[in-house]
Amino acid sequence: MRIPTSRQRPSQVDMQTAMTPLIDVVFQLLIFFICASTGHMKELLLHADFRAGAVGAADATAIEKPLGEVRVRLKRSDERTIAFLEGREFRDLDQLEANLRILANAATEIPVILEIAGDVTLGDVIRVYDVCRSARFRSINFAASARSMTDP
C-alpha cells in the first residue's frame, strides 16, 4: 500500500461551489437588515427631553395655538340634531357643513374639537366628522367629560 506524500489541492470548481452558499448568506443578511431598518422613525424626529440629574416626569406645558380652536357641539332636541359652532346654533347640518368648509379654507391647521351629547345618533356624528375630514382639517378630536368616563 502506498501512502501519498503530498496533499491534493482542491480544484478551482470546488472553491466556487464552496463560496456560493457563503455569498448567499451574506446577501440574505444584507437584505434582512435593510428591510428591518426602513420602517423605523428617525430618532431626531422624536421629541425627548433628557435633563441631567432630573428624576420624574417633565411638567406638561400648554402649547398655545395661535389661531385657537374650533369647538363643535352636537346635541339632540325634538328628534333632530342641533349643532353649535362658536356660539352659533345650526338646526340644519348642511349649514354647519358650509361654515366648516369656510373655516377650513381660511386655515386647515385649526384643531377641531367635537363635543357629542350621549343621545346624538351615530350617523350625525359620522357626517360631521366626514365633513371635517373632507375639508382637510389636520386635527379632529373628540371631547370627553370626566363623568362619562367613569359611568358604564
For the chain, the structural domain boundaries read 70-150
pLDDT at 30: 92
DSSP string for 17-56: HHHHHHHHHHHHHHHHHHHHHHTSPPGGGS-----TT--S
Q: Is the pTM higher than 0.85?
A: no
Query: How is residue 24 written as a grid cell?
Result: 448567499
Tell me which of 3.30.420.270, 3.30.70.2190, 3.30.1440.10, 3.40.50.1820 is the CATH number of domain 70-150: 3.30.420.270
For residue 28, pLDDT beyond 90? yes
pLDDT in tens, 77-87: 888 888 888 88
Kind plus residue range of the DSSP H or E element containing 152: none
Buried b (16+ CB within 10 A) or exposed e, 48-86: eeeeeeeeeeeeeeeeeeeeeebebbbeeeeeebbbebe
Query: How is residue 149 written as a grid cell?
Result: 368616563
Which of 145 and 119 is assigned the larger pLDDT? 119
pLDDT in tens, 39-65: 665 665 656 665 655 555 555 555 554
Query: How is residue 45 written as a grid cell?
Result: 424626529
pLDDT in tens, 84-114: 888 888 888 788 888 888 888 887 788 888 8
